[in-house]
C-alpha cells in the first residue's frame, strides 16, 4: 500500500505530464458548462474540443486523448452521438469518463447512463446522489444537487467498481476514489464556495478525461489527480475571494497557476 506522500508525488508528476503533453480532450457535455469546461481545460494545460455530431464525434473520439460523456442536458440526438463516440473510443483505446449528472429521477439520462456504464468507462465521476443512483441504490437526489453525503455513497462507489471495472470518483466535501482491488483514497481539500459556481463538478469530469489521457491507463491515479488539482485550486482561489462571480474567475486563474509543488504542499490525501 502506497503512503499518501507517494501518491501526492505521483499526482504532481502527472500534472507535469499533462502540461507537457497537452492532451486533446473530446467533451460531449451539457449546454450550461461548455464554455467554462473549455476554459478549465485550457487553464490546466489541456486542449478542449466539443464535438456533438454523430459522425464527427465517432471520428474525433479516436483522435482525442480522452473523452468526456456528461449527460447534464441530454437529448435523444446527443445520446445517439454519445453511443457512437463511446464505441469509437473503445475501439481505439481512448479512455473515457462518464459523468451521470442528475441520474436517478429523469428517464432519458438514467437509461443512457445505465447503458453506457456497461461499456468500460475508465472513470465515473459524480456526486454522492448520482453515484448511488447509478449503482442502483435508492437515491435522495434533489435535481442536480446532491443531498446524500459522500460518506453514505462509499458502498455505492464500491459496488459501481464491481459492476463496471471503472475507477469511481465521488465528489463532495470529501472526495472519495474507489478502484477494484485497491485501497480507497480520500481528498479533504476544497471549499464550499465551489458549489456556488455552475460547472465546477462538470469541469472536474473533463479534467478526469485529460488526466486519464496522460496516465498510461492508471485511472486510479488520474482520478486522484483530478480530485486533488480541482480541490487545491479551489483552496487557492478561495483565499483570493469568496464572492461567487469573482471565484469563478479566480478558479480558472488557480488552475493555471497551480504547480506540482502546490499539490505536494497543500494536498490532504488520506489512504
Which spans of this chain sit near its own copies (rule: CB under 8 A)? 24, 30-36, 38-39, 42-43, 47-53, 55-56, 59-60, 63-64, 72-77, 102, 105-109, 142-145, 196-199, 243-246, 248-253, 256-257
Helix, coil or strand: residue 25: strand
Supply angle C-alpha 72, 239, 142, rounded to 5.
25
120 versus 256: smaller Cβ distance to its own copies: 256
Please state the φ and ψ torsions of residue 13, each to the nearest 5 degrees: -65, -35
Quote the least distance from Cβ 66 to its own copies, whole Å.
12
- For the chain, the straight-line distance linking the first and the last C-alpha, in angstroms and rounded, comes to 9
Quote the least distance from Cβ 60 to its own copies, whole Å.
6
139 versus 167: smaller Cβ distance to its own copies: 139
Quote the least distance from Cβ 81 to its own copies, whole Å.
9
Quote the least distance from Cβ 3 to its own copies, whole Å.
34
49 versus 118: smaller Cβ distance to its own copies: 49
Closest CA to 178 of 167, 187, 188, 186: 167
Quote the least distance from Cβ 47 to its own copies, whole Å.
5
Instruction: Give me the residues paired with residue 47 across strands.
Output: 24
Query: Cα–chain-centroid distance for residue 134?
Result: 15
Helices (H), 117-153: 128-135
Quote the least distance from Cβ 152 to its own copies, whole Å.
20
47 versus 271: smaller Cβ distance to its own copies: 47
Q: Can you spell out the DSSP letters for 44-57?
A: HT-EEEE--SHHHH
Please give the grid coordinates belonging to residue 233: 485550486
Q: Given the DSSP bridges, would you call strands 175-178 and 24-28 parallel, antiparallel or unpaired?
A: unpaired
Quote the least distance from Cβ 36 to its own copies, whole Å.
6
136 versus 245: smaller Cβ distance to its own copies: 245
Please, are residues 62 and 21 in contact by the beta-carbon 8 Å criterion?
no
Please, are residues 69 and 85 in contact by the beta-carbon 8 Å criterion?
yes
Closest CA to 10 of 258, 233, 236, 223: 223
33 versus 214: smaller Cβ distance to its own copies: 33
Please, are residues 86 and 94 in contact by the beta-carbon 8 Å criterion?
no
59 versus 163: smaller Cβ distance to its own copies: 59
Amino acid at each position: 500500500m502506497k503512503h499518501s506522500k507517494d501518491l501526492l508525488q505521483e499526482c504532481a508528476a502527472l500534472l507535469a505530464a499533462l502540461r507537457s503533453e497537452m492532451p486533446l480532450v473530446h467533451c460531449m457535455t451539457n449546454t450550461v458548462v461548455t464554455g467554462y469546461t473549455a476554459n478549465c481545460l485550457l487553464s490546466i494545460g489541456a486542449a478542449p474540443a466539443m464535438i456533438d455530431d454523430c459522425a464527427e464525434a465517432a471520428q474525433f473520439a479516436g483522435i482525442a486523448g480522452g473523452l468526456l460523456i456528461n449527460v447534464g442536458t441530454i437529448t435523444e440526438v446527443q445520446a445517439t452521438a454519445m453511443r457512437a463516440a463511446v464505441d469509437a473510443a473503445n475501439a481505439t483505446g481512448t479512455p473515457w469518463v462518464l459523468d451521470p449528472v442528475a441520474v436517478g429521477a429523469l428517464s432519458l439520462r438514467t437509461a443512457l447512463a445505465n447503458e453506457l456504464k456497461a461499456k468500460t468507462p475508465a472513470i465515473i465521476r459524480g456526486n454522492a446522489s448520482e453515484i448511488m443512483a447509478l449503482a442502483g441504490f435508492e437515491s435522495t437526489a434533489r435535481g442536480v444537487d446532491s443531498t446524500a453525503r459522500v460518506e453514505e455513497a462509499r458502498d455505492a462507489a464500491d459496488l459501481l467498481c464491481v459492476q463496471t471495472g471503472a475507477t469511481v470518483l465521488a465528489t463532495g466535501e470529501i472526495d472519495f476514489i474507489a478502484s477494484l482491488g485497491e485501497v480507497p483514497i480520500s481528498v479533504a481539500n476544497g471549499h464550499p464556495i465551489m458549489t456556488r459556481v455552475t460547472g465546477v463538478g462538470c469541469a472536474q469530469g473533463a479534467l478526469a478525461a485529460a488526466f486519464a489521457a496522460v496516465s498510461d491507463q492508471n485511472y486510479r491515479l488520474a482520478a486522484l489527480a483530478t480530485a486533488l488539482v480541482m480541490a487545491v485550486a479551489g483552496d487557492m482561489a478561495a483565499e483570493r475571494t469568496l464572492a461567487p462571480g469573482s471565484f469563478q474567475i479566480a478558479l480558472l486563474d488557480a488552475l493555471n497557476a497551480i504547480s506540482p509543488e502546490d499539490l505536494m504542499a497543500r494536498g490532504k490525501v488520506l489512504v
